[in-house]
């Protein structure tokens, strides 16, 4: 029997590289699409066909889908601070339109579009949100969230026209191959390097990136076209998340929790300095606004319909800590028995 071939956009990135591995593990052939000149260390040693192209380029996307049965559109510009702002919308919204149009023209069997919980709303009563919780101005803070919301609307439009596209909404994945790292990964790196004397009293849904990756494949195999599935795990207040990082690393957790409101003036100063110097500020008005709400989500639909695994957050964070230590992100190793980090 001939194996099905899957195109994965953004294959060299954090989620994309894990999706590639999940596909290979289930016997699929993979065409891994990366931007020209992009880092491909996450694909080293894998039996994949590497292709190059920009998701914003219609001709490149048409060429990329040729001969593929499935398309996993994972590529996105995931950053909470980008100046100028336009590339966020060009990549996340216009790029999604080009990929889905190419998949439509090629009549592929199934498309899985990687959206985000950023495109969903939050409940007013603080309970975990689900796929039916509508987004509003309160939840769509910043260009990244707004761009993912608009891109999900593009995917929904194609689904309404008949494209067999399934939308997945990962929450806050942690684990291996987070080379950039992502904003969530940066929290872990800052903790491991002792750059977190205090924390903001917020919360998030933590999920193992391996579960997110398998969730993509399960969405292709079992998901209903036009439906959304939250690929999430455990809802953790920041205090609990930091205590799990402390247990995984042997480092003390910060004890001081700060409300978000007093940080607003500092955030504006940081943003102004970043705009002036061209650097990326660690604290911005948007990140402070997001921290005002606990970003809790309910992955029950994906667990029931897809069989999404639920790796405990403790184990997911342990794997993330180990990967960052082993790949040179920790300046001074203080893990457990003092094991020195290896550079990968």
Write out the DSSP string of 71-121.
Answer: EEE------S--SSSHHHHIIIIIHHHHHHHHHHHHT-SEEEEE--GGGS-
Contact 113, 155 (CB under 8 A): yes
Q: Read off the DSSP letter of residue 31.
A: E
Residue identified by tokens 């040179």 is: 328
Reading the block at residue 208, the tokens are: 């193992």
Taken in order of first residue, the domains within the chain and their CATH numbers are 5-174+208-232+296-310 (3.40.50.720)
pLDDT in tens, the chain (344 residues): 668 999 999 999 999 999 999 999 999 999 999 998 888 999 999 999 999 999 999 999 999 999 999 999 999 987 755 656 788 899 999 999 999 999 999 999 999 999 999 999 988 888 999 999 998 766 676 788 899 999 999 999 999 999 999 999 999 999 999 999 998 999 999 999 999 888 888 899 999 999 999 999 999 999 999 999 999 999 999 999 999 999 999 999 998 766 555 554 554 455 455 556 666 656 655 564 555 568 999 999 999 999 999 999 999 999 999 999 999 999 864 444 444 344 33
Three-state SS annotation for 145-198: HHHHHHHHHHHHHHHHHCCCEEEEEECEEECCCCCCCCHHHHHHHHHHCCCCCE
């Amino acid at each position: 029997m001939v194996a099905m071939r899957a195109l994965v956009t953004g294959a060299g990135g954090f989620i994309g590289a894990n999706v590639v591995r999940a596909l290979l593990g289930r016997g699929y052939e993979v065409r891994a699409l990366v931007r020209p000149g992009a880092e491909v260390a996450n694909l080293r040693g894998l039996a994949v066909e590497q292709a190059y192209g920009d998701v914003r380029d219609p001709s490149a996307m048409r060429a990329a889908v040729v001969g593929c049965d499935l398309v996993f559109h994972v590529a996105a510009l995931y950053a909470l601070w980008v100046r100028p702002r336009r590339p966020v919308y060009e990549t996340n919204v216009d790029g999604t339109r080009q990929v889905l149009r190419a998949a439509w023209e090629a009549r592929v069997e199934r498309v899985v579009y990687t959206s985000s919980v950023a495109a969903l709303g939050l409940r007013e009563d603080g309970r975990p949100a689900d796929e039916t919780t509508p987004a509003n101005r309160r939840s769509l803070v910043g260009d990244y969230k707004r761009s993912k919301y608009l891109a999900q609307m593009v995917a929904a439009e194609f689904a309404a026209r008949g494209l067999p596209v399934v939308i997945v909404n990962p929450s806050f994945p942690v684990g291996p191959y987070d080379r950039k790292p992502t904003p969530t990964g940066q929290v872990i790196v800052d903790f491991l390097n002792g750059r977190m004397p205090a924390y903001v009293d917020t919360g998030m849904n933590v999920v193992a990136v391996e579960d997110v990756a398998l969730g993509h494949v399960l969405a292709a195999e079992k998901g209903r076209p036009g439906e959304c599935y939250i690929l999430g795990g455990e809802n953790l207040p920041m205090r609990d998340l930091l205590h799990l990082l402390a247990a995984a690393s042997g480092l003390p957790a910060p004890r001081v929790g700060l409300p978000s409101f007093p940080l607003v003036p500092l955030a504006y100063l940081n943003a102004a300095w970043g705009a002036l110097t061209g650097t990326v500020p660690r604290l911005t008005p948007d990140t402070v606004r997001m921290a005002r709400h606990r970003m809790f989500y309910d992955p029950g639909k994906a667990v029931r319909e897809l069989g999404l695994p639920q790796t405990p957050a403790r184990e997911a964070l342990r794997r993330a800590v180990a990967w960052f230590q082993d790949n040179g992100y920790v300046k001074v190793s203080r893990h457990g028995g003092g094991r020195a980090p290896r550079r990968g």
